[in-house]
Amino acid sequence: MTDPAVLALAGGVGGAKLADGLQAHLGDRLAVVVNTGDDCERHGLLVMPDHDTVLYNLAGIEQAEWGWGIEGDTHAAMAQLGAYGEETWFSLGDRDLALHVARTARLQAGGRLTEVCLGLQRSLGIAARILPMADEPVRTEVRTDDGWLEFQDYFVRLRQAPEVLEIRFAGIDDARPTAEVLAALAASAAIVICPSNPLVSVAPILGVPGMREAIGAARQRGVPVAAVSPIVGGRALKGPADRMLAALGLEVSAVGVARLYADLADVFVLDAVDAALAPGVEALGIHAIVTDTIMTDDAARARLAGEVLGALEAR
Ligand code: FO1
């Protein structure tokens, strides 16, 4: 795909990797709508894990092993916070901390979330735009045997150990797609749902009132939607998506994910190890593409992104 713009929906490390691959092809013609349900307040600062993971990946400074945070970051501030008796289970690197300080200060000075994020992105010199799914706060919460937990409490402090019985997105009824998201949608010739957790990364984005309708309207105009499976060989490449799907009684497979996107996706990309599942995807009325979806390095990110864009162009 050469000239037209593309909109990607992403959350978490897998989404950030594909967004990075897409940026390699599209540069400033890429807009990435990110989940803000994982956002949290730590030490009086707003932390936006999915936005920041995409930001650091697009800037090429992500911590290679974890995929989030900044490569080579130190943790002196965290150690000092611990010395003051503050909680340290959610670990913020020193350079990462600077982002949360700047963002929170600008918000407290009256800045709007999307504008503040775009300003910070410009400082890191990335070509694409990363757009929070909404300016209003939305917070993902999961119900476990111990009751409702904030997402990062479940994800980081409890290391995703408790079984998730229910998921909700607090505040979502009052959220709206931003003018920037709607403008990016209107300008896009194709939409990519990245290989992110469908239940806690993509669902909040699609759950913003008006978002599904806006994507539906784009499809009516002939804008194709491709989704990439985050489940490979019946397992999540990263994170708890597989366990969450199972606990909620959903099929833990690429077909199970495709089913969640059946009313939205024209193309579904599944990994070569799941080639036998392609007919099950096609049976849902979605065109299946089978390829290597494991993004081990920059070249693999760009190659997968190229295949996704090629499949969309062919629609
Ligand atoms: N994940 C962890 O497993 N432990 C951490 O201490 C942690 C800190 C952290 C700080 C900033 C940030 O942007 C992300 C951070 N993450 C951490 C990752 C993050 O919580 C998850 O990857 C996402 O929320 C899941 O999509």
CA distances (Å), origin 43, targets 84, 104, 295: 12, 11, 34
Identify the three-state secondary structure at position 58. Answer: helix
Ranges of residues in the chain with a pLDDT under 70 are 1-3
What atom in ligand 1 is closest to the CA of residue 50?
26
11 CA closest ligand 1 atom index: 26
Q: Which residues is 5 bridged to in the sheet?
A: 188
Closest by CA position to 261, among listed 289, 290, 226, 300:
226
Q: What are the structure tokens assigned to 129, written together?
A: 């735009």
For the Cβ of 49 lying below 6 angstroms from any atom of ligand 1, the answer is yes
Question: What is the pTM (predicted TM-score) of this model?
Answer: 0.97
Query: What is the bridge-based pairing of β-strands 166-170 and 129-132?
Result: unpaired
Ligand 1 pocket check for 154: Cβ under 6 Å: no
Which residue out of 68, 130, 153, 157 has the highest number of ligand 1 atoms within 8 Å of its CB and is therefore the one to mutate? 68
By most ligand atoms within 8 Å of CB, the mutation choice from 86, 88, 97, 156 for ligand 1 is: 156
Which pLDDT score, from 0 to 100, does residue 1 have?
Answer: 42
pLDDT at site 142: 98
Q: What is the pLDDT of residue 2?
A: 41
**Cβ–ligand 1 contact at 155 (below 6 Å):** yes
Q: What is the pLDDT of residue 239?
A: 92
Residue closest via CA to ligand 1's atom 15 equals 49
Using the structure block, give the residue that is written with the tokens 């920059």: 298
Residue 201 Cα to ligand 1 midpoint, Å, equals 13
Cα separation values, 198 from 81, 172, 193, 194, 195, Å? 35, 17, 9, 9, 8
pLDDT value of residue 4: 72
Residues 6+ apart with CB under 8 A from 155: 38, 240
Ligand 1 atom showing the smallest separation from residue 151 Cα:
24
Domains and CATH numbers, the chain: 5-138+172-313 (3.40.50.10680), 139-170 (no CATH)
Q: Where are the alpha helices (DSSP H) in 155-292?
A: 179-187, 203-207, 211-220, 241-247, 254-260, 278-282
Token readout for 86 is 């503050």
CA proximity to 26, closest of 10, 5, 8, 11: 5
- Give the H or E element holding residue 167: strand 166-170
